[in-house]
Amino acid sequence: MNASAYTPAAGLPGIPVGTLVRDTATGRQGTLRDVLPYEPPDSRPVPGSVVRPPRLLAFIRPVGGGREWTTDPGDVVPLS
């Protein structure tokens, strides 16, 4: 039995959580917050429906605050 349901933020290989990054898909910059598998609401089996598998997403928060966004982890590069 798990003592805690909390799972620490994962980051990416060579890019730990808290790193200032650029999302190459949008050109936006922010702080990497986590990388998690996202399971879309329509991924639950319903008779006759197409089930989409979970996909990995990177969560990025703008520097100074604002609305967090998600992107493909392959589009995340650290800023020098």
Give the count of domains, the chain: 1
- Tell me, yes or no, whether 5 lies in a domain: no
Q: Residue 32 belongs to what domain range?
A: 15-41+51-67
Residue percentage of the chain with pLDDT more than 70: 78
- Tell me, yes or no, whether 22 lies in a domain: yes
- Tell me, yes or no, whether 46 lies in a domain: no
Reported as a single tens digit per residue, the pLDDT across 56-72 is 999 999 999 999 999 99
Nearest CA-CA partner of 75 in 29, 9, 10: 29
- Tell me, yes or no, whether 10 lies in a domain: no
The CA-based dihedral angle spanning residues 28, 55, 73, 21, taken in that order and rounded to the nearest 10 degrees:
40
Q: What is the pTM of this model?
A: 0.77
Reported as a single tens digit per residue, the pLDDT across 25-50 is 999 999 999 999 887 765 566 676 66
